[in-house]
Structure 1
Amino acid sequence: MLKQNLQFKLSQKLSPQQIQLMKLIQLPTQAFEQRLKEEMNENPALEGGKEEGDLEDDYEKDEFDDYEEDEFDRIDAEDINIDEYLSNDETPEYKLQSNNYSDDDDDREMPFAAPVTFHQDLINQLNTFILSDDDKDIAEFLVGSIDDMGYIRRTIQDIVDDLAFTQGIYTDEANVERVLHIIHELEPAGVGARDLQECLLLQLKHKTPTESINLAIDMIENQFEAFTKKHYDKLLQKYGISKELLKKTIEEIEKLNPKPGGAFTGNNKIIEHVVPDFTIRISEGELELLLNGRNAPELHVSKDYQEMLQGYKVTQEKSNAQKEAVQFIKQKLDSAKWFIDAIRQRQETLYVTMNAIMHYQQEYFLEGDETKLKPMILKDIADLIGLDISTVSRVANSKYVETPYGTKLIKEFFSEAMKNDQGEDVSTLEIKKILQNIIEEEDKKKPLPDDQLADLLKEKGYPIARRTIAKYREQLDIPVARMRKKI
């Protein structure tokens, strides 16, 4: 049975302006500049640069600030208050400028490289070989099967099947294996290997034979597991060699590149340069925060569009075409004013948030000692500045700050708190730094296992469990004790 009833419900809905602001806040400087260009291309009512006559204008509160109608709602042209858009009362530029913008805002244009791709380089090398048409087709297919690290991660049988189904090339495993040996002659050495063992062997066989190289080849071929697990005593006993020769052999293997393709792509890819969103300086013992000037563009509403509205206002007889034009102009002016307001709010939010972080971590920014970093979570900063945690997260996750100690990602300053033996809260970043220092200073012939690392940290006043040590060690990308061992 159908029934009608009334229901009251409270709900929260973000306005288009709020959504636009949140999206702008999370953009770093370079992405923000791109977004700015896109908006100016899409909206002819939005212009950049200083507006003529700004310095002569007096500031009055814009009546438009209270306007909350949806941008795409259409209202009758006669109901539009033209005077709201004609009033020349935008905030003068000189009243918006302050000294908290970095002077490092030069528009540096980076040249774009046009490198030859990894796979194209391999194809170019193949062209120097004399191959039959069938062998060339198979070789090019094998090159296409090589991943960015330089490996072929598929079995020969799978490749044979794919050649038949996708290329119409019917061959057998022996023939593909023969062509694969040609691929193994390409540079960089080791490319086209099917696993790490084969990759290392290919590189060793490209070297001039010496006693240590020959021993390394035999070791990788026949004692690979013992080598990877660093069972040096077993290797000494197996080959009956001196420690000096074993050490020299291991050094030869450590010089090899386990990711031959990665080295090529790493040297040829276009490098993205980080543009700091903030700069922190120390002036006479005091911290000074600057917002990158590229985050503070000079924007204003187009005078031409205001003049169009003026022309509509003085026209006695208004045609339908003119009314349609006014609807369009109104939408563009609304969008331009909303965007300008969002830019101003973005500047204020960025500055206020980073200023709070800077003062919260004042001791670190004055001295540069990572052990001085205080425990700090998003809620700490959100409570200080009266903003939502999600807003602080948007600022921290994608913004960089230039400090006297290097350019840092802001989210790296956030960490959980742990208690030391004095009952004081200390940052997990501080504990990780001390752990890293202990491991760097250990005797590599007898590296410290996690339980001994826990004991050493406990002696320093940090009662940390062994499993927590293991977690921090993995986060620092430090291997277990056995893998840190050196002969």
Structure 2
Amino acid sequence: MLKQYLQFKLSQKLSPQQIQLMKLIQLPTQAFEQRLKQELEENPALESGKEQLEDLDDVFDNSNDFEDDNESINADDINVDDYLSDDDVPDYRTQANNYSSDDEEKTMPYAAGTSFTQHLINQLNTFRLTDDEFDIAEFLVGSIDESGYIRRKLIDIMDDLAFTQNIYTTEAEIEKVLKIVHQLDPAGVGARSLQECLSIQLHRKEKRPDVELAIDIIDNAFEKFTKKHYKKLLQKFDITEQQLKDAIDEIEHLNPKPGGSYSGNNRIVEHVVPDFAIKIVDGELELTLNGRNAPELHVSREYNNMLKGYKESKDKSKSQKDAVMFIKQKLDAAKWFIDAIKQRQQTLFVTMSAIMHYQKEYFLSGDERKLRPMILKDIADEIEMDVSTVSRVANSKYVDTPYGTKLIKEFFSESMTNDQGEEVSTREIKKILETVIEDENKRKPLTDEALAKILKEKGYPIARRTVAKYREQLDIPVARLRKKI
């Protein structure tokens, strides 16, 4: 049976402005600049530059003159400061901005280049090929990924040639043309597997005993080589340990990703723009916010005058009223956006300042072993903000330190207790683990169990499974694959 009833419920919802502010905080410098450019294009009442309106406050103080229209927007109702901070007066209202126009990063032009695919096609023009062979070769080159490999089966390529190029051929013909593609530079391009890639490169080398042996190993004992079964290789080829070592050295100097060696490719290069800079001045840490995060914005004087002109007008038509509502909405939006930018600056600076002081020992020394255990809640409690706000700042922002540009979230780590009952960062343990593996005897690499025992002796009682997890996070292979002769 259906019933109707009334229910009262209290709930908190973020306003659209607050949601947009959260998105602004999350943006890194370059994305923030794009968002700023978009806002300047969409809102004609918002302008960039140093011009300030002395009578701007009067415009908004008298906004009640237009409250007879329900479409009115009152920017003063959006209390952004209360949402992000409990401070009655945010610091940015009492401090000068900590940036200078001299600090601005200058844009750098990029030279146009030839794409990797075009580079290979240009080489094809030096071969004598029939029209069909050239079309097949061009299709094969187009199937090469950025690492330099063809990841598809020839039978699939044969089908695609028939359907898309109207070329009916055979696998044998494609294989024949593929051999021509294998002659292109860089050596190894067009290979279908790592084994074939290494083999192509070795066959191009001058035939020396160590190269001949390396070819034999790759072509006939690739699995034993990848698994580092050196004793089996010594027995199979009846060679000395030194001969095997020379052959392996030859293989290790090959390029497993020939496509990556082409410097003229047109892949988009991502440039990291630090959002903060930390310097050591007289033994103390100094934090600055990138000037590109602190643009100078003001409300358009022209729009302000249009609004004042309407107030002074005696005859107010319906069309004038509609126009002035549009103007007021744009002015309100501009005022809110300027306040949101200031709040963004404040939030970024306060959060990074708390992180810097929390990890003061690390920033003064650069020693990762001095990184303290730190989670998002530690910083959130320190600055009295929500964990999600700290997360937005940490996940996508970079800081320029005396030891390189670092992603802020890298300073966060879980803690564990050492044998003395002290809380230590897992980053510290990983650094020690990395050092132990670097110093091990590569002829007899340490197993995870042996590494766990060494760490325990150093005062870090962790299980073998945890050692394996940390080793994988450091992208270090198992003991068998670290073995050298």
Aligned mate of 1:214, from 200, 212, 215 = 212
Answering whether residue 246 of structure 2 is matched by residue 277 of structure 1, we say: no
**1:45 aligned residue:** 45
Question: Which residue matches 1:4?
Answer: 4
Q: SS at 2:150's partner residue?
A: coil
- The 1-side partners of 2:165 and 2:59 are apart by 70
Amino acid at match of 1:178: K
The answer as to 2:424 corresponding to 1:426 is: yes
Amino acid at match of 1:374: R
C-alpha deviation, 1:320, in angstroms:
2.3
Amino acid of the residue matched to residue 239 of structure 1? F
User: Could you tell me how far apart the structure 1 residues matched to 2:148 and 2:281 are?
Assistant: 50
Separation in structure 1 between the aligned mates of residue 101 and residue 464 of structure 2, nearest angstrom? 49
Partner of 2:87: none
Q: Which moved more, 1:126-135 or 1:345-354?
A: 126-135
Q: Deviation string for 1:1-33 (max 9, x for gaps)?
A: 543210122222111110111010011111111
Q: Deviations over 1:463-483 (max 9, x none)?
A: 011111111111111111111
The answer to whether structure 1 residue 35 and structure 2 residue 35 are counterparts is yes
- The residue number in structure 1 matching 2:183 is 185
Aligned match for 2:352, one of 337, 351, 354: 354
Q: 1:62 to 1:455 in 2, by over 3 A?
A: farther
Query: Structure 1 290/304 Cα, relative in aligned 2: closer, same or farther at 3 Å?
Result: same
- Is the CA contact 2:52–2:298 (under 8 Å) kept in the aligned structure 1? no
Instruction: Give 3-state SS (helix, strand or coil) of 2:172's partner.
Output: helix
Choose which of 164, 189, 193 in structure 2 pairs with 1:195.
193
Alpha carbons of structure 1 residues 253 and 394: separation in structure 2 relative to 1, 3 Å: same
Alpha-carbon distance in 2 for matches of 1:469, 1:160: 48
- How far is 1:390 from its partner? 0.8
CA RMSD of aligned residues (A): 2.6
Judged with a 3 Å threshold, the aligned counterparts in structure 2 of structure 1 residues 266 and 351 are, in CA distance, closer, same or farther, namely farther
Q: Matches of 1:195 and 1:78 in 2, distance apart?
A: 68
Q: Which moved more, 1:21-30 or 1:146-155?
A: 146-155
Q: CA 1:200–1:81 in structure 2 vs 1: closer, same or farther (change >3 Å)?
A: closer
Residue number in structure 1 paired with 2:88 = none
Cα distance in 1 for partners of 2:102, 2:392 equals 23
Q: Check 1:63–1:14 CA distance in 2 against 1; reply closer, same or farther (3 A cut).
A: farther
- 1:166 to 1:241, Cα distance in 2 relative to 1, 3 A: same
Question: Which residue number in structure 2 is paired with residue 87 of structure 1?
Answer: none
Cα deviation for residue 53 of structure 1 reads 6.5
SS at match of 2:298: strand
Question: Which residue identity lines up with residue 41 of structure 1 in the other structure?
Answer: E
C-alpha separation in 1, matches of 2:266 and 2:332: 46
Q: Which residue pairs with 1:370 in the alignment?
A: 368
Matched residues in 2 for 1:60 and 1:306: separation? 10
Cα 1:241–1:144 shift into 2, 3 Å: same
Is the contact between residue 73 and residue 332 of structure 2 (CA under 8 Å) also seen in structure 1? no
Secondary structure of 2:216's counterpart equals: helix
By how many angstroms is 1:302 displaced?
0.8
Give the C-alpha shift of residue 52 in structure 1.
4.8
Aligned to 1:297: 295
SS of residue in 1 equivalent to 2:103? coil
Kindly tell me: are residues 199 and 75 of structure 1, through their superposed partners in 2, closer, same or farther at Cα, counting changes over 3 Å?
farther
Point out where structure 1 has 5 or more consecutive residues left out of the alignment. Answer: 68-73, 85-93
For the pair 1:465 / 2:463, whether they are aligned, the reply is yes
CA contact (8 A) 2:53 2:299 kept: no
CA distance in 2, matches of 1:465, 1:246: 37
Cα contact 1:200–1:253 (8 A) shared by 2: yes
What letter is aligned with 2:293? N
Deviations 1:242-274 (A, max 9, x none): 222211111110111111112226865343222
Mapping for residues 56-455 of structure 1, pairs under 5 Å? 63=61, 76=68, 98=96, 100-101=98-99, 105-264=103-262, 269-455=267-453
Percent identity reads: 70
**Distance (whole Å) between structure 2 residues aligned to residue 198 and residue 466 of structure 1:** 37
- Asked if structure 2 preserves the Cα contact closer than 8 Å seen for 1:415 and 1:429, the reply is yes
- Please, which moves more after superposition, 270-279 or 15-24? 270-279
CA distance in 1, matches of 2:160, 2:180: 20
CA contact (8 A) 1:191 1:199 kept: yes
Structure 1 residues 232, 148: CA separation in 2 closer, same or farther (over 3 Å shift)? same
Aligned pair count? 469
- Separation in structure 1 between the aligned mates of residue 209 and residue 466 of structure 2, nearest angstrom: 44
Judge conservation of contact 1:281–1:404 (CA < 8 Å) in 2.
yes
Q: Deviations over 1:91-114 (max 9, x none)?
A: xxx966625336662241111232
Distance 1:214 1:81 in 2: 80
Deviations 1:296-317 (A, max 9, x none): 1111111110100111111111
Q: Which stretch shifts more, 23-32 or 265-274?
A: 265-274
User: Residues 56 and 304 of structure 2 are in contact (CA less than 8 Å); yes or no, is this contact kept in structure 1?
Assistant: no
- Give the letter for the 1:418 counterpart: M
Structure 2 partner of 1:14: 14
Deviation at 1:280, TM superposition (A): 1.3
Q: Deviation of residue 62 (structure 1)?
A: 6.7
Does the Cα contact within 8 Å between 1:375 and 1:417 map onto a contact in 2? yes
Q: What is the SS of the residue equivalent to 2:477?
A: coil
> Post-superposition shift, 1:155?
1.6
The CA deviation string for residues 320-348 of structure 1, in whole angstroms up to 9 with x for no partner, is 22112101101111110110111011011
Code of the aligned partner of 2:321: K
Q: Which moved more, 1:165-174 or 1:353-362?
A: 165-174
Separation of aligned partners in 1, 2:14 and 2:93: 30
* CA distance 1:218–1:367, shift in 2 (3 Å): same
SS of residue paired to 1:11: coil
| 8 Å Cα contact 1:112/1:270 also seen in 2 | no
Distance 1:312 1:18 in 2: 31
- Kept in 1, the 8 Å contact 2:148–2:188? The answer is yes
